[in-house]
């Protein structure tokens, strides 16, 4: 278990994760291919799960990884398979 | 006395059961669920209007566990929900044919379950959960007819509604971190701990979040589309019950939980704007259901500004009008639905010749129009009269002028509809009125006349209801004072 | 123009929001009032090692009932709206590696899901993630084998029965203690699998419900319909 | 503070997506970002300096060293509710695509804004 979030190494990790998350979110909104956008969205949700773990919320982290990242992405993929992959 | 928790537990039980059955059994379960709920609500009613019943859940006392607050307003809304739900169910059993019906019935039951939960809960996060139950089933039901207009309306409702629900969640969590509790009465006690800026921010969040449900002016873009595009049986409930519950949740948060009295002037004008723009939009409508939708929004604006004024007479009138408008608008949508179904014409022209073809429907439609306008001695008159008198007592004179002017606009389009019903000929034929339409209409007509001739029937509930809405210390005492 | 608004408006909201958070609700501060009760009394009162679980299932079990209802609603609505939709045209063809590894992985995935919801009161996890993991196993089977089909009737019956059991446990509490969802079983010793009263029972019901519900949802989404 | 900024950014990006994007799937992705951002906000509000997860896995753990467990329970509910909304939204999108062969909201009459 990660002991303290105020240790410098962890702090840098958090900053990197938040940065990745924001960039990924912008990226997901701008990708033309919807399937790739959805996969990037899954990655952003997974990073959120790591943040939950750092914030000492393992229950939420497990749920976010399974429900928020896994299941959401699966439902999105089902919707895309049944409609179209192109944005336009 | 029966435990009020059964009002939520039993419908849930039945809702889990419905998807298993095909054929007549599922209809019987649906009707049974509403009958049981109506009976329980009526049994509890005499107790609840005098002294609020606090139901603790999972055997923990209020600030630790969740509690239900079964007060005068909550139990009245519960009776309305199960009563109109029952009438709507009778209507939809005959009228709704799109498969899969068992899922439709389960969604219908759960939407009303969520509304009951919203009106009875005493916990802010629980309110959010029930809000989501109500709205998610409403999204599904709105798009259920699976035609273009229904799907697009459902999508619009979903996007706006879920954005609003997220704002409510942020507001809830801001209140939690600053007061350390999720119980409404507990927060009401400690609201002074919340910094002014946070309180203002939370107020804006709740205003937007619940304003969407209560169909308040800048936030009600979804409402006409949803009311028009939903299946007819769902429009009845969306306009008559769900919007009222949103209104209740709004004022429960603003008045009881946050104790904001200094925002009253702003809220009055939002209500007036809703009323005025609703009436103006209704004047221009050609589509029958859309016209009724705008008229319903306008009435909500009226109720909203009356509660905002905050004098006991105005609140009394507003609570009375909540009941009246639920009956009136439910009946109007039901009649509109059955006419549209028969003539296959969404335009107001479909009303042509109704007076000569079906006297009962024409009579009921006229009573509905006149009742909404507030003609004496129909029920709408008493409630509107009380609201206007109360607003004048509350020194809100200019809004009253606006309201009177808006009523004039309302009179123009409603009397035009009545004119179309009686004085224009057409060749369209209207089938014999089926029982599923006749029974709900006649029941509601009887109630309208009953409340119109004997408005004193509501006295006990209204006196308790005013206390419930305006008196914060009474609310806190009921939860914690044993 | 529209884009400028779409960038500036969220930016404005974020700035106001961060300003308020920074000045009035600082990070890393202990602000618990009611939550203190859960931390100090939670273990003796409920017997659950995991305090979050004791809150989710007992203290705020009513919310969880609502949560189960919301998921039930979503599955109902998903199926109801998709019923009668056009057939999907694309076929997913899985490689032999996926097919063979899925065949061996599937029982373990199901077992892991069951483990997660059985140990909800001891370790992180619980009914919802456990059920979703089971549904993920079913999704994997769908992806690997083109003609894999689940028996929707049986799934529906499981789902409804599990929901009825949840409400039923609540009603038993109402009958015994006069309070819905009250804990009517002994708390037991902490850190044991047979402890925490009704928590494992409710989590088993939730696990089965969520697993069958979402498995059915995935199936409805991926199967070809007429 | 970095968590507040992170959640604020995610909410802002989600709002931008909902306001500006025209494709329905993209709009729903924006909605998902808002939900995730709100969840991160709630969890970061319950963090206590030096706290551990609220699980008494060892007898030596003290209640005074733990983070606030209540918001964690709320977020569990919020995550599941979020998925339910998304599932409902996506089923409607599939039906709209079925009917109109487009997911562009500027081509859908009632969704234009």
Asked, for residue D57, whether it belongs to a domain, the answer is: no
CB C157 within 8 A of CB B20: yes
Q: Is C81 close to B143, i.e. CB distance below 8 A?
A: yes
Residues B118 and B107: their CA atoms lie apart, in Å, by 16
**H helix or E strand, kind and range, residue B97:** none
Instruction: Give the model's pLDDT for residue C183.
Output: 82
pTM as predicted: 0.94
Distance from CA of A52 to the nearest CA of D (A): 7
Q: Is B221 close to D88, i.e. CB distance below 8 A?
A: no
Q: With a cut of 70, say whether residue A31 has pLDDT above it.
A: yes
Residues C48 and B87: their CA atoms lie apart, in Å, by 46
Residues D46 and D54: their CA atoms lie apart, in Å, by 11
pLDDT tens-place string over residues C109-154: 999 999 988 887 888 888 889 999 999 999 888 888 877 888 888 8
Q: Is B173 close to D110, i.e. CB distance below 8 A?
A: no
Neighbours of B425 (CB within 10 A): 8
* Token couple for B53: 């019943």
Q: Give the residue among B244, B304, B254, B306 at the shortest CA–CA distance from B119.
A: B244
Calculate Rg over the CA atoms of chain C: 22
Query: What is the span of the domain harbouring residue B296?
Result: 6-480
Q: Which residues contact B59 (CB under 8 A, 6 or more apart)?
A: B65, C173, C177, C179, C182, C183
Residues B441 and B360: their CA atoms lie apart, in Å, by 9
Q: With a cut of 90, say whether residue D29 has pLDDT above it.
A: yes
Q: Is there an interface between B and D (3+ Cβ pairs < 8 A)?
A: yes
Partner B, chain D 3-62, Cβ-Cβ below 8 Å: 18, 24, 27, 31, 34-35, 38, 41-42, 45
Q: With a cut of 80, say whether residue C95 has pLDDT above it.
A: yes
Q: Give the residue among C176, C163, C152 at the shortest CA–CA distance from C204.
A: C163
CB B241 within 8 A of CB B301: no
Half-sphere exposure in the Cβ direction for B28 (13 Å, CA)? 5
* Token couple for B239: 């306009």
Residues B157 and C10: their CA atoms lie apart, in Å, by 21
CB B36 within 8 A of CB C160: no
Residues B96 and C53: their CA atoms lie apart, in Å, by 42
Residue recorded with tokens 């409607």: D92
Residues B300 and B316: their CA atoms lie apart, in Å, by 15
Q: What is the dihedral of CA D102, D106, D110, D113, to 10 degrees?
A: 150
* Token couple for C203: 């989590």
Q: Is C126 close to A82, i.e. CB distance below 8 A?
A: no
Instruction: For strands B53-56 and B67-70, give the pairing.
Output: antiparallel
Q: With a cut of 60, say whether residue A58 has pLDDT above it.
A: yes
CB B335 within 8 A of CB B405: no
pLDDT-derived band at A2 (thresholds 50, 70, 90) equals very low
CB C183 within 8 A of CB C58: yes
pLDDT tens-place string over residues C143-194: 888 778 888 888 889 989 999 999 998 888 888 888 888 888 777 777 777 7
Q: Which residues contact C186 (CB under 8 A, 6 or more apart)?
A: C47, C197
Q: Is C20 close to B201, i.e. CB distance below 8 A?
A: yes
Average pLDDT, chain C: 84
Distance from CA of C223 to the nearest CA of B (A): 17
Residues C164 and C178: their CA atoms lie apart, in Å, by 19
Distance from CA of A70 to the nearest CA of C (A): 8
Per-residue pLDDT of chain B (482 residues; tens, 9 = 90+): 788 889 999 999 999 988 888 778 888 899 999 999 999 999 999 888 888 888 888 888 888 888 899 989 999 999 999 999 999 999 888 777 777 888 889 999 999 999 999 999 989 999 999 999 999 999 999 998 888 888 999 999 999 999 999 999 999 999 998 888 899 998 998 888 888 889 999 999 999 999 998 888 888 888 888 998 888 889 999 998 999 999 999 999 998 888 887 888 888 999 999 998 999 988 888 888 999 999 999 999 999 999 998 888 999 999 999 999 999 999 999 988 888 888 788 888 777 777 777 788 888 989 999 988 888 888 888 899 999 999 998 887 888 898 999 989 999 888 888 888 888 776 656 566 788 888 899 999 999 999 888 888 888 888 888 888 888 888 888 888 75
Asked, for residue D25, whether it belongs to a domain, the answer is: yes
Q: What is the dihedral of CA C163, C166, C172, C173, to 10 degrees?
A: -150
Kindly state whether D78 is in contact with chain B, defined as any CB-CB distance less than 8 angstroms: yes
Q: Give the residue among B205, B197, B219, B195 at the shortest CA–CA distance from B173.
A: B205
CB C215 within 8 A of CB C73: no
- DSSP 8-state secondary structure symbol assigned to residue B54: E
Go through B28-57 and write b for each residue having 16 or more CB atoms within 10 A of its CB, e for each that does not.
Answer: ebbeebbebbbebbeebbeebbeebbbbbb
Question: At residue D7, what are phi and psi to the nearest 5 degrees?
Answer: -65, -40
Residue recorded with tokens 């109402």: C174
Distance from CA of C165 to the nearest CA of D (A): 20
pLDDT-derived band at A1 (thresholds 50, 70, 90) equals very low
* Token couple for C103: 């065949």
Residues B232 and A38: their CA atoms lie apart, in Å, by 36
Residue recorded with tokens 């959120």: A48
**3-class secondary structure, B70:** strand
Residues C181 and B56: their CA atoms lie apart, in Å, by 10
User: Residue ranges of the domains in chain A?
Assistant: 32-83
Residues C17 and C24: their CA atoms lie apart, in Å, by 11
Q: Give the residue among B439, B440, B186, A65 at the shortest CA–CA distance from C133.
A: A65
Half-sphere exposure in the Cβ direction for B278 (13 Å, CA)? 30
Could you tell me which chain C residue has the CA closest to the CA of D1? C27
CB B337 within 8 A of CB B236: yes
Asked, for residue B1, whether it belongs to a domain, the answer is: no
Residues B300 and B18: their CA atoms lie apart, in Å, by 33
Neighbours of B468 (CB within 10 A): 26
Please give the tally of structural domains in chain D.
1
Residues B208 and B308: their CA atoms lie apart, in Å, by 16
**Tell me, what CATH number does D30's domain have?**
1.10.287.3510
Of how many residues is chain A composed? 88
Residues C206 and C69: their CA atoms lie apart, in Å, by 11
Residues C44 and B101: their CA atoms lie apart, in Å, by 47
Asked, for residue D75, whether it belongs to a domain, the answer is: yes
- DSSP 8-state secondary structure symbol assigned to residue B103: H
Q: Give the residue among B84, B109, B144, B116 at the shortest CA–CA distance from B27.
A: B109
Q: With a cut of 90, say whether residue D86 has pLDDT above it.
A: yes
Q: Is B12 close to C177, i.e. CB distance below 8 A?
A: no
Asked, for residue D113, whether it belongs to a domain, the answer is: no
* Token couple for B123: 């916990």
Q: Is A37 close to D67, i.e. CB distance below 8 A?
A: no
CB B63 within 8 A of CB B452: no
Q: Is there an interface between B and A (3+ Cβ pairs < 8 A)?
A: no
* Token couple for B295: 């008229």
Neighbours of B438 (CB within 10 A): 17
CB B31 within 8 A of CB B18: no
Residues B295 and B477: their CA atoms lie apart, in Å, by 39
Residues B317 and B474: their CA atoms lie apart, in Å, by 21
Query: What is the span of the domain harbouring residue D75?
Result: 2-48+67-107
CB D38 within 8 A of CB B170: yes
Q: For residue B19, give the nearest of C76, C84, C182 by CB distance.
A: C76
- DSSP 8-state secondary structure symbol assigned to residue D54: S
CB B265 within 8 A of CB B208: no
Could you tell me which chain D residue has the CA closest to the CA of B133? D81
Neighbours of B203 (CB within 10 A): 17
Residues A19 and B29: their CA atoms lie apart, in Å, by 53
Chain A hits for C50, Cβ within 8 Å: 59
CB D85 within 8 A of CB B133: no
Distance from CA of D112 to the nearest CA of A (A): 16
* Token couple for B102: 């068992």
Q: Give the residue among C226, C224, C214, C225 at the shortest CA–CA distance from C92.
A: C224
pLDDT tens-place string over residues A5-16: 666 778 888 899
Neighbours of B410 (CB within 10 A): 23
Q: Which residues contact A17 (CB under 8 A, 6 or more apart)?
A: A47, A50, A51, D6
Q: Which residues contact B34 (CB under 8 A, 6 or more apart)?
A: B82, B85, B86, B89, B112
Chain B hits for C160, Cβ within 8 Å: 16-17, 19-20
Calculate Rg over the CA atoms of chain B: 21
Residues C114 and B355: their CA atoms lie apart, in Å, by 65
Chain C hits for A62, Cβ within 8 Å: 116, 124-125, 129
Chain D hits for C12, Cβ within 8 Å: none
Q: What is the dihedral of CA B437, B443, B445, B449, to 10 degrees?
A: 180
């Amino acid at each position: 278990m990660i002991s303290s979030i105020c240790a410098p190494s962890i702090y840098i990790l958090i900053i990197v994760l938040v940065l990745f998350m924001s960039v990924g979110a912008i990226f997901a909104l701008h990708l033309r291919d919807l399937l790739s956008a959805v996969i990037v969205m899954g990655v952003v949700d997974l990073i959120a799960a790591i943040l939950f773990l750092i914030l000492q919320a393992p229950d939420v982290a497990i749920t976010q990884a399974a429900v928020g990242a896994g299941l959401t992405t699966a439902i999105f993929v089902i919707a895309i398979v049944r409609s179209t992959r192109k944005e336009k | 006395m029966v435990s009020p928790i059964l009002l939520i537990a039993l419908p849930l039980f039945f809702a889990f059961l419905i998807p298993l059955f095909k054929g007549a059994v599922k209809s019987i379960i649906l009707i049974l669920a509403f009958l049981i709920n109506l009976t329980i609500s009526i049994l509890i009613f005499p107790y609840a209007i005098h002294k609020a019943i606090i139901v603790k859940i999972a055997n923990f006392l209020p600030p630790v566990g969740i509690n239900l607050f079964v007060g005068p307003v909550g139990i009245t809304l519960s009776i309305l929900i199960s009563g109109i739900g029952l009438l709507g169910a009778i209507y939809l059993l005959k009228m709704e044919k799109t498969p899969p019906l068992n899922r439709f019935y389960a969604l219908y039951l759960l939407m009303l379950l969520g509304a009951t939960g919203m009106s009875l809960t005493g916990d802010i996060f629980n309110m959010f959960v029930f809000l989501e139950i109500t709205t998610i089933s409403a999204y599904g039901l709105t798009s259920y007819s699976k035609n273009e207009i229904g799907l697009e309306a459902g999508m619009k409702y979903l996007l706006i509604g879920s954005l609003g629900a997220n704002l409510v969640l942020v507001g809830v969590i801001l209140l939690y971190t600053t007061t350390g509790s999720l119980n409404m009465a507990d927060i009401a006690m400690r609201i002074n701990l919340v910094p002014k800026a946070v309180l203002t921010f939370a107020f804006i969040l709740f205003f937007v979040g619940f304003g969407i449900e209560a169909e308040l002016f800048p936030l009600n873009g979804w409402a006409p589309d949803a009311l028009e595009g939903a299946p007819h049986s769902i429009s009845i409930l969306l306009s008559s019950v769900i919007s009222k519950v949103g209104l209740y949740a709004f004022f429960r948060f603003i008045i009881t939980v946050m104790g904001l009295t200094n925002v009253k002037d702003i809220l009055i004008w939002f209500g007036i704007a809703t009323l005025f723009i609703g009436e103006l939009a209704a004047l221009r409508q050609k589509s029958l259901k859309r016209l009724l939708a705008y008229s319903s929004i306008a009435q909500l604006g009226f109720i909203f500004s009356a509660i905002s004024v905050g004098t006991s007479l105005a609140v009394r009138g507003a609570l009375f009008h909540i009941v009246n408008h639920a009956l009136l608008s439910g009946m109007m949508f039901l009649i509109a639905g059955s006419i549209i179904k028969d003539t296959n014409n969404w335009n107001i022209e479909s009303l042509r010749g109704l007076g000569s073809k079906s006297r009962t429907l024409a009579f009921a439609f006229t009573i509905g129009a006149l009742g909404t306008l507030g003609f004496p001695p129909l029920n709408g008159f008493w409630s509107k009269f009380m609201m206007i008198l109360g607003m004048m007592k509350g020194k809100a004179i200019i809004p009253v002028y606006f309201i009177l002017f808006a009523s004039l606009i309302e009179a123009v389009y409603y009397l035009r509809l009545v004119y179309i019903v009686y004085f224009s000929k057409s060749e369209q034929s209207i089938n014999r009125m089926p029982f599923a339409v006749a029974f709900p209409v006649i029941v509601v007509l009887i109630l309208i006349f009953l409340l119109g001739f004997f408005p004193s029937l509501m006295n006990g509930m209204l006196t308790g209801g005013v206390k419930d809405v305006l008196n914060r210390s009474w609310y806190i005492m009921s939860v914690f004072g044993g | 123009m529209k884009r400028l608004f779409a960038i500036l408006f969220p930016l404005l909201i974020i700035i106001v929001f961060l300003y308020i958070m920074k000045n009035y609700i600082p990070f890393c501060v202990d602000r618990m009032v009611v939550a203190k009760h859960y931390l100090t009394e939670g273990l003796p009162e409920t017997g659950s090692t995991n305090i979050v679980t004791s809150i989710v299932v007992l203290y705020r079990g009513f919310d969880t009932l609502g949560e189960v209802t919301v998921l039930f609603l979503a599955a109902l609505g998903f199926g109801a709206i998709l019923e009668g939709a056009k057939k999907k045209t694309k076929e997913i063809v899985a490689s032999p590696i996926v097919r063979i590894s899925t065949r061996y992985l599937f029982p373990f995935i199901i077992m892991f899901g069951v483990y997660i919801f059985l140990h909800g009161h001891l370790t992180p996890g619980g009914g919802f993630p456990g059920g979703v993991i089971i549904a993920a196993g079913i999704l994997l089977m769908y992806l690997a084998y083109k003609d894999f089909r689940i028996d929707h009737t049986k799934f529906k019956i499981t789902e409804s029965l599990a929901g009825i059991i949840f409400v039923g446990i609540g009603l038993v509490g109402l009958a015994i203690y006069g309070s819905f969802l009250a804990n009517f079983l002994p708390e037991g010793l902490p850190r044991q699998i047979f402890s925490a009263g009704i928590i494992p029972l409710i989590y088993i019901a939730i696990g089965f419900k969520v697993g069958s519900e979402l498995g059915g949802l995935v199936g409805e989404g991926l199967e070809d319909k007429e | 503070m970095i968590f507040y900024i992170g959640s604020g950014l995610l909410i802002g990006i989600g709002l931008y997506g909902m306001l500006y994007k025209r494709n329905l799937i993209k709009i729903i992705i924006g909605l998902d970002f808002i939900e995730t951002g709100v969840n991160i906000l709630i969890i970061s509000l319950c963090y206590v300096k030096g706290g551990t997860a609220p699980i008494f896995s060892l007898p030596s753990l003290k209640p005074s060293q733990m983070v606030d467990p209540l918001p964690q329970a709320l977020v569990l509910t919020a995550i599941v509710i979020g998925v339910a909304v998304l599932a409902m939204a996506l089923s409607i999108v599939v039906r709209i695509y079925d009917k109109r062969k487009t997911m562009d909201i500027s081509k859908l009459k009632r969704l234009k804004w």
